[in-house]
Amino acid sequence: MHWDLILWLISLISNIVLLVLLIYQLICLSDLEADYMNPYETAANINSLILPEFGLQAAFCALFLVTGHFFMFLVTLPVAIYHARLFARGEHLVDVTEIFRALSVEKKHRLIKLGLYLLFFFLVIFRFPAGSISSLSIFSSKHGDLDIRSSFLEF
Amino acid sequence: MRPFLSSGPVAGRPDGDGVRPPPPSAPGSAMPFASPRPMAGPPVPGFRPSPVVGFTDQIRPGPPPSHAPPTSNNFQQFSAPQYSGPPTNPPIRTPPVGPPNMNMASPMPPNMPPPIQRPGVPAPTPPLTFRPNSQVPPQPYAQAPPQPFAQGPPQPYAQGPPQPYAQGPPQPFAQGPPQPFNQGPPQPFAQGPPQPYAQGPPQPYAQGPPQPYGQPAYAQSPSQPGMQGFVEDFSSLSLGAVPGSMDPGLDSKALPRPLEGDVEPTVFNDMTMNCSPKYMRLTTSAIPNSQSLASRWHLPLGAVVSPLAEASEGEEVPILNFGSAGIIRCRRCRTYINPYITFTDGGRKWRCNMCALLNDVPGDYVAPLDATGRRIDADQRPELIRGSIEFVAPTEYMVRAPMPPLYFFLIDVSVSAVRSGMLEVVAQTIKSCLDEIPGYPRTQIGFITFDSTIHFYNMKSTLTQPQMMVVSDVDDIFVPLPDDLLVNLSESRNVVESFLDSLPSMFQDTVNVESAFGPALKAAYMVMSQLGGKLLIFQNTLPSIGLGRLRLRGEDPRVYGTDKEASLRVPEDPFYKQMAAECTKYQIGINVYAFSDKYTDIASLGTLSKYTGGQVYYYPSFRSTIHADKLRHELARDLTRETAWEAVMRIRCGKGVKFNSYHGNFMLRSTDLIALPAVDCDKAFAMQLGLEETLLTTQTVYFQVALLYTASCGERRIRVHTAAAPVVSDLGEMYRRADTGAIVSVLSRLAIEKTLSSKLEDARSYLQMKIVKSLKEYRNLYAVQHRLAGRMIYPESLKYLPSYGLALSKSMPLRGGHADALLDERCAVGSTMMTLPVKSLLKFLYPSLIRVDEFLLKASSPDADLKNVEKRLPLTAESLDARGVFILDDGLRFVIWIGRMFPPELAASLNIDFASDLSQVNGSNNEMSRRLMGLLKKLRESDPAYYQFCHLVRQGEQPKEGFYVLSNLIEDQTAGTNGYVDWIAQIHRQVQQNA
Ligand SMILES: [Zn+2]
Identify whether B906 is part of a domain.
Answer: yes
Domain end residue (candidates: B117, B149, B180): B180
The nearest CA of chain B is from the CA of A144 a distance in Å of 47
Q: Which residue has the higher pLDDT, A31 or B99?
A: A31
Is B40 a residue whose pLDDT tops 80? no
pLDDT in tens, B458-472: 999 998 889 999 999
User: Which of B364-368, B444-448, B587-591, B605-609 shows the lowest mean pLDDT across its residues?
Assistant: B364-368
Q: What is the mean pLDDT of chain A?
A: 83
Asked if B620 and B480 sit in the same domain, the reply is yes
pLDDT at site B866: 64
Rg (CA), chain B: 31
Whole-number Å distance between alpha carbons of A16 and A20? 6
pLDDT at site B1: 42
**Which positions in chain A touch B668 (Cβ < 8 Å)?**
39, 99-100
Average pLDDT of the residues in B195-202: 37
Average pLDDT of the residues in B251-280: 83
Asked if B381 and B512 sit in the same domain, the reply is no
Q: Which residue has the higher pLDDT, B89 or B696?
A: B696
Verify whether the Cβ–Cβ distance B669 to A38 is below 8 Å.
yes
As to burial, measured by CB atoms within 10 angstroms (0-12 exposed, 13-18 middle, 19+ buried), residue B782 is: buried
- CB of A101 within 8 Å of a chain B CB? The answer is yes
In sequence order, which residues have a C-beta less than 8 Å from that of residue A152 and are 6 or more positions away?
A: none
Whole-number Å distance between alpha carbons of A89 and B694? 40
Whole-number Å distance between alpha carbons of B132 and B605? 50
pLDDT at site B867: 65
pLDDT at site B863: 54
Is B342 a residue whose pLDDT tops 50? yes
Q: Where are the beta strands (DSSP E) in chain A?
A: none
Whole-number Å distance between alpha carbons of B431 and B504? 12
- B51 is in which domain, residue-wise? 1-180
Average pLDDT of the residues in B109-133: 39
Asked if B350 and B489 sit in the same domain, the reply is no
In sequence order, which residues have a C-beta less than 8 Å from that of residue B300 and are 6 or more positions away?
A: B283, B688, B743, B746, B747, B750, B770
Q: How confident is the model at residue B483 (pLDDT cuts 50, 70, 90)?
A: confident
Verify whether the Cβ–Cβ distance A35 to B671 is below 8 Å.
yes
Asked if B443 and B374 sit in the same domain, the reply is no
- Tell me the three-class secondary structure of B624-682, residue by residue: HHHHHHHHHHHHHHHHHCCEEEEEEEEEEECCCEEEEEEECCCEEEECCEEEEEEEECC
Asked if B380 and B469 sit in the same domain, the reply is no
pLDDT in tens, A41-69: 999 999 999 999 999 999 989 988 988 88
Buried b (16+ CB within 10 A) or exposed e, B450-472: bbbbbbbbbbeeebeebeeeebe
pLDDT in tens, B533-555: 999 999 999 999 999 999 888 66
Q: What is the CATH number of the domain that holds B864?
A: 3.40.20.10
Identify whether B454 is part of a domain.
Answer: yes
Whole-number Å distance between alpha carbons of B224 and B94? 7
Whole-number Å distance between alpha carbons of B536 and B640? 13
Identify whether B953 is part of a domain.
Answer: yes
Is B915 a residue whose pLDDT tops 60? no
**Could you give the number of structural domains in chain B?**
4
Asked if B61 and B95 sit in the same domain, the reply is yes
pTM over 0.90: no
Give A25's Cβ-side CA count (13 Å radius): 25
Q: How confident is the model at residue A150 (pLDDT cuts 50, 70, 90)?
A: very low
User: Which of B160-174, B352-366, B582-596, B665-679 shows the lowest mean pLDDT across its residues?
Assistant: B160-174
Which amino acid appears at position B749 of this protein? Answer: R
Average pLDDT of the residues in B335-345: 93
Is A113 a residue whose pLDDT tops 60? yes
**Which positions in chain B touch A35 (Cβ < 8 Å)?**
13-14, 670-671
pLDDT at site B249: 64
Q: Select the residue of A33, A90, A97 nearest B671 (Cβ to Cβ).
A: A33
E strand or H helix at B987 = helix B980-992
- CB of B45 within 8 Å of a chain A CB? The answer is no
The nearest CA of chain A is from the CA of B394 a distance in Å of 24
| Kind of pairing between the strands at B533-539 and B588-594 | parallel
Q: What is the CATH number of the domain that holds B330?
A: 2.30.30.380
Which amino acid appears at position B634 of this protein? Answer: E
pLDDT in tens, B499-538: 999 999 999 999 999 999 999 999 999 999 999 999 999 9
pLDDT at site B269: 73
Asked if B420 and B329 sit in the same domain, the reply is no
Buried b (16+ CB within 10 A) or exposed e, A115-126: ebbeebbebbbe
Nearest Cα residue to B50 out of B165, B186, B150, B149: B186
E strand or H helix at B833 = helix B823-833
Average pLDDT of the residues in B967-985: 85
Whole-number Å distance between alpha carbons of B382 and B7? 31
Ligand 1 midpoint to CA B32 (Å): 20
Answer whether B900's CB lies under 8 Å from B882's CB: yes
Count CB-CB contacts under 10 A for residue B678. 27
pLDDT in tens, B796-827: 899 999 999 999 999 999 988 888 888 899 99
The gap from C-alpha A56 to its chain's centroid, in whole angstroms, comes to: 8
Asked if B339 and B419 sit in the same domain, the reply is no
Identify whether B98 is part of a domain.
Answer: yes
Nearest Cα residue to B984 out of B476, B337, B456, B253: B253
Ligand 1 midpoint to CA B721 (Å): 16
Asked if B859 and B950 sit in the same domain, the reply is yes
Verify whether the Cβ–Cβ distance B581 to A33 is below 8 Å.
no
Asked if B359 and B438 sit in the same domain, the reply is no
Most distant CA pair in chain A: distance in Å?
55
Asked if B113 and B167 sit in the same domain, the reply is yes
Count CB-CB contacts under 10 A for residue B611. 28
**Which positions in chain B touch A93 (Cβ < 8 Å)?**
574
Asked if B372 and B513 sit in the same domain, the reply is no
Q: How confident is the model at residue B556 (pLDDT cuts 50, 70, 90)?
A: confident
User: Which of A3-7, B418-422, B787-791, B927-931 shows the lowest mean pLDDT across its residues?
Assistant: B787-791
Verify whether the Cβ–Cβ distance A40 to B6 is below 8 Å.
yes
As to burial, measured by CB atoms within 10 angstroms (0-12 exposed, 13-18 middle, 19+ buried), residue B241 is: exposed
Q: How far apart are the first and last CA of chain B?
A: 61
As to burial, measured by CB atoms within 10 angstroms (0-12 exposed, 13-18 middle, 19+ buried), residue B957 is: middle
Verify whether the Cβ–Cβ distance A40 to B585 is below 8 Å.
yes
Average pLDDT of the residues in B467-484: 88
Identify whether B292 is part of a domain.
Answer: no
Identify whether B363 is part of a domain.
Answer: yes
Q: Select the residue of B581, B607, B610 nearest A96 (Cβ to Cβ).
A: B581
pLDDT at site B860: 57
Q: What is the mean pLDDT of chain B?
A: 77
Ligand 1 midpoint to CA B464 (Å): 58
Verify whether the Cβ–Cβ distance B574 to A100 is below 8 Å.
no
List, as ranges, residues 769-828 from B with C-beta within 8 Å of A.
none
Whole-number Å distance between alpha carbons of B551 and B68? 62
Identify whether B825 is part of a domain.
Answer: no
pLDDT at site B20: 40
CA dist B565 to A111, B754, B815, Å?
A: 31, 12, 14
**Which positions in chain B touch A97 (Cβ < 8 Å)?**
577, 580-581, 607, 610-611, 667
Identify whether B725 is part of a domain.
Answer: no
pLDDT at site B555: 67
**Which positions in chain A touch B575 (Cβ < 8 Å)?**
none
**Which positions in chain A touch B580 (Cβ < 8 Å)?**
97
